[in-house]
Structure 1
Amino acid sequence: MSNLQKEDFSKWYLQTIQQADLMSYSPVRGCIIFKPDGFELWEHIQEEFNKFLKAEGIRNAYFPMLIPYSFFAKESDHIEGFAPELPWVTKVGNEELEEPLALRPTSETMIGSAFSEWINSYRDLPYEINQWANVFRWEKKTLPFLRTSEFLWQEGHTAHADEEDARRRTMRVLEAYRDLAENFLAIPVYVGQKTPSERFAGAVDTYSIEAMMKDGKAVQAGTSHYMGTKFAEAFDIKYLNAENEHVFAHTTSWGISTRLIGALIMTHGDEQGLVFPPKVAPTQVVLMPVGPWKKNPAILEKLGAIKEELAAKNLRVRLDDSDNTPGFKFNEWELKGACLRIEVGPRDLENQHAMVKVRDLSEKVAVDFPELTDYVEEQLAQMQVRLLENARLRNKANEHLDINTLDELKQHIKTCQENNEPTGFVLIGWDGSEETEAKIKEETGFTTRNIPFEAPMEKAVDLVTGLPATQTVWIARAY
């Protein structure tokens, strides 16, 4: 039996997300349509992260999509970083606009302008807001959810009285992202600081969570940036401090996007289709009548009662009473990533039990009706933990700590290609120069992911030059 996921991971991914009805392609190049299941995944991520925002007292706002050219020109690093990806509006009808307007790639400039008006005194600080929005980056190479010309995201923007407070916010959000990825999406991540060449355009420091997909490639799953006073100086975000002096605020920005959906699919999916952690799954439980159920109305009545009982526990339950064959329905709901299936037929009704199948386990289990609700809740909780643990074990198996030269890295890549195995994450020593970083990328396609806060070991020698290393860095091929 062929294993498409191992033979051609990208083909498996594209085939799965379309067959599972998460998205369809838009007539606009590089854009996708989120179908209800795909969008519901994003809704659950929003709901979960909004809990963190509310607990921190960070409120949601909304800013215009169109940003004047002059705003970008105020922060030269920023426009330079985004220039190749910016779509511009230059005409309305037949009339040329006085100033071109960009479709937002991110909102630092627009929000910086607003902050300069809203923040006047140290009493106004910290000023912290978030927006859920769409953004545009005209990508040359696209992949649904992971890299599209228009995507959805959350972007937080804050202003603080001093560096210490701003950095505290930057790191607190980074930890919230790690918690969201690992404890909600069951995606283990590597937490650390980006190298200068990989920093967000205009930031002083960028921190990230990096996820490893089943094919060994990396996905940057979230970033948090300490901006220093760069944007404050560009947009005149000043406040009157307690000593009656006008000083610049320290700002931060941070974001996660719908690429988390792509990471979710690539972390947990299997040959049968999607596998979703129960906390985020659009369908946690699917109920199915089996056997000659149409001749026995009591079967649907029982399933209706089970549905009510599970829904009362705030579980997302669907009843599939379509005319399709049981085999077709089993395959369809496995493909769509329903976490748990409950079957009831005439014999089950007689025996006062249901047959239960958990998506990531192979066995079906008979569960007595009175115990069913407790059993379902227990199995969903166990599945959530199991998916994270399985992903962690897979990551560990694809971490490479013993590669110390560029030649060894090239040999590793060659061996993986010959054996059709993931190249994974490689821990290297780095001398801190952009030249060595560029050489690794040019000769292997590997990029620095981040300088981990907790490296499994310290590397003493630079991978390229053999000179003493100043940093230990994760590198990988990335989406």
Structure 2
Amino acid sequence: MSDLQKENFSEWYIQTIKNADLMAYAPVRGCIIFKPDGFALWEGIQDQFNKYLATQGIRNAYFPMLIPKHFFEKEEEHVEGFAPEIPWMTQVGNEKLDEPYGLRPTSETIIGNAFSDWINSYRDLPYEINQWANVFRWEKKTLPFLRTSEFLWQEGHTAHVSEEDARHRTMAILDAYEDLIVNYLAIPSFKGQKTPSERFAGAVDTYSIETMMRDGKAVQAGTSHYLGQNFAKSFDIKFLDKDDTHKYVYTTSWGISTRLIGAMIMVHGDEKGLVLPPKVASTQVVLIPVGPWQKNPEIMETLDKMLATLKEKGVRAKIDDSDNTPGYKFNEWEQKGIPMHVELGPRDIKNGQAVIKMRDLDDKQTESLDGIEDYIKDQLETMQTRLLESADARNKENEYFDIDTLDDLKKHIETKKTAGEVPGFVLIGWDGTEETEAKIKEETGFTTRNIPFNPPMEKKVDIVSGKPAKYTVWIARSY
């Protein structure tokens, strides 16, 4: 990490997103404005996940932002979990409303109400929809993209004939999230099940994709919930089965949000700012004429041909023919995280070559103009892999398996702090009690992230009580 990343990671993060021109602060507390470059990142995530939804036959819909108060009250655990964060609309003009409306924190209630009207027979199942929407959670502490009072997300909701079908969809979505996060955003993942205290309000089981940032903290990147029949019973979602009896459906819900953008920035960014994985970047390559290029038509002619060929090959490229200095251009595109820039000047034309600079590498390289478009495409693919491998290697350096007591954990945190290093993810044994979780959080600030499906090792002893461990769990500080 750079010096600023080590000294004040949050300050580095804010500087990075401002310099990259991704967002601006809104006049509403805890809210941000997505500027075009920032929103383009979200559009890319939407496009990528919509491709998966299309393979599953899951279509997009949209539900109102305002939810009647009595909907929340139908599922007690659900409303209790979200009540502190829900903004309420109680008045229109000078007229008090007969019933308050909550600004959507999530849509299980309003969609459950719709499902109860739309689902009548086993022939209607499975019923699976998705929506891209804004949600409101009045956060006390905010950080752009990662935690804001209003944020953008995707939420899917499904209803099924059987528990088996519902659980299958829950896990299939978790796998789809992992694919998106690992192979599109180039972020390594920790996949597993949430502990009961950390699961979604009203769910039977919650599963998550956890990710580690450069400062060792965790970001929950995606969750998939098996809701059982809890919401079906609260909203009377029944169907007539083949045996001519009415039964409650089994439901799921699942979501990812714009915090993926924040996670991507924190995982890949460096001392110069933003680093975009090539698959994510709306502009992957910037072609920059250098030297007295205005007096040498051959430079622009060559770049125009290169641009056309790159576009034919599916590479998202553009030419920066502004009158800014080359140094200004190089710095600007580096701060914006563009994966590659290509320089072409009179000497390069004479030598039949161009100069290539990859955003994540320090050195420039020269490459023959002959077949350079194929080379550029290959280098973008190589960078995508390199970023994932680099992040995975960094994660492994900050994963700890040898901490077996609470005192060990405290010493570990203090040692890392003194050395200017990150405490990372710690694998512990857990006896399954909320008392243990609460004590860990109270004394260290670490929280349980998830119970991994395939832990790197099994922990035998609970870190607090010393009793036999029921589960092996990842813990970390989190955003």
TM range (shorter): over 0.9
CA contact (8 A) 1:283 1:337 kept: no
Which residue does the alignment assign to 1:15? Answer: 15
Q: Which is worse superposed, 24-33 or 304-313?
A: 304-313
Cα deviation, 1:169-195, whole Å, max 9, x if unaligned, reads 000000000010001110000000000
CA contact (8 A) 2:188 2:211 kept: yes
CA contact (8 A) 2:288 2:319 kept: yes
Cα deviation, 1:397-429, whole Å, max 9, x if unaligned, reads 000000000000000010111111111000000
What RMSD in Å do the two structures reach over aligned CA positions?
A: 1.0
Which residue does the alignment assign to 1:255? Answer: 255
Which residue does the alignment assign to 2:77? Answer: 77
Which residue does the alignment assign to 2:350? Answer: 350
**Contiguous gaps of at least 5 residues in structure 2:** none
CA contact (8 A) 1:121 1:240 kept: yes
Identity in percent:
70
Which residue does the alignment assign to 1:242? Answer: 242
**Contiguous gaps of at least 5 residues in structure 1:** none
Task: Give the alignment of 1:291-440 within 5 angstroms.
Answer: 291-440=291-440
CA distance in 2, matches of 1:448, 1:12: 26
Question: Which contiguous aligned blocks of 4+ residues in structure 1 show a shift greater than 4 angstroms?
Answer: none
CA contact (8 A) 2:2 2:271 kept: no
Q: SS of 2:6's equivalent? A: helix
Task: Give the alignment of 1:260-275 within 5 angstroms.
Answer: 260-275=260-275
CA distance in 2, matches of 1:438, 1:331: 47
What amino acid is aligned across from residue 327 of structure 1 in structure 2? G
Which residue does the alignment assign to 1:181? Answer: 181
CA distance in 1, matches of 2:366, 2:474: 46
Task: Give the alignment of 1:220-235 within 5 angstroms.
Answer: 220-235=220-235
CA distance in 2, matches of 1:85, 1:137: 5
Provide the TM-score with structure 2 as the length reference: 0.99
CA distance in 1, matches of 2:276, 2:291: 28
CA distance in 1, matches of 2:352, 2:309: 16
How far 1:363 sits from its partner (Å)?
A: 2.1
CA distance in 2, matches of 1:354, 1:332: 20
Task: Give the alignment of 1:22-41 within 5 angstroms.
Answer: 22-41=22-41
Q: SS of 2:109's equivalent? A: helix
Structure 2 residue 90 is matched with structure 1 residue 90: yes
Which residue does the alignment assign to 1:131? Answer: 131
CA contact (8 A) 1:187 1:267 kept: yes
Which residue does the alignment assign to 1:53? Answer: 53
What amino acid is aligned across from residue 377 of structure 1 in structure 2? K
How far 1:2 sits from its partner (Å)?
A: 6.7
Q: SS of 2:422's equivalent? A: coil
Which residue does the alignment assign to 1:101? Answer: 101
How far 1:350 sits from its partner (Å)?
A: 1.2
CA distance in 1, matches of 2:100, 2:5: 45
CA distance in 1, matches of 2:291, 2:28: 46
CA distance in 2, matches of 1:57, 1:452: 29
CA contact (8 A) 1:31 1:150 kept: yes
Q: SS of 1:435's equivalent? A: helix
CA contact (8 A) 1:162 1:249 kept: yes
Which residue does the alignment assign to 2:143? Answer: 143
CA distance in 2, matches of 1:350, 1:2: 39
CA contact (8 A) 2:2 2:270 kept: no
Which residue does the alignment assign to 2:450? Answer: 450
CA distance in 2, matches of 1:448, 1:219: 12
Judging changes above 3 Å, is the alpha-carbon distance between structure 1 residues 2 and 57 closer, same or farther for their aligned structure 2 residues?
Answer: closer
Q: SS of 2:371's equivalent? A: helix
CA distance in 2, matches of 1:16, 1:33: 16
Cα deviation, 1:237-264, whole Å, max 9, x if unaligned, reads 0001111111100000000000000000
What amino acid is aligned across from residue 255 of structure 1 in structure 2? G
CA distance in 2, matches of 1:151, 1:282: 21
What amino acid is aligned across from residue 166 of structure 1 in structure 2? A
CA distance in 1, matches of 2:284, 2:461: 49
CA contact (8 A) 2:451 2:474 kept: yes
Q: Which is worse superposed, 319-328 or 455-464?
A: 319-328
Which residue does the alignment assign to 2:62? Answer: 62
Q: SS of 1:370's equivalent? A: coil
What amino acid is aligned across from residue 98 of structure 1 in structure 2? D
Cα deviation, 1:280-330, whole Å, max 9, x if unaligned, reads 112200010111112222212221221111112222112111222211211
CA distance in 2, matches of 1:176, 1:234: 29
Judging changes above 3 Å, is the alpha-carbon distance between structure 1 residues 65 and 2 closer, same or farther for their aligned structure 2 residues?
Answer: closer
Provide the TM-score with structure 1 as the length reference: 0.99
Cα deviation, 1:79-130, whole Å, max 9, x if unaligned, reads 1000010001101110001100011000000000000000001111100000
Cα deviation, 1:136-178, whole Å, max 9, x if unaligned, reads 0000000000000110000000000010000000000000000
CA contact (8 A) 2:283 2:316 kept: yes
What amino acid is aligned across from residue 154 of structure 2 in structure 1? Q
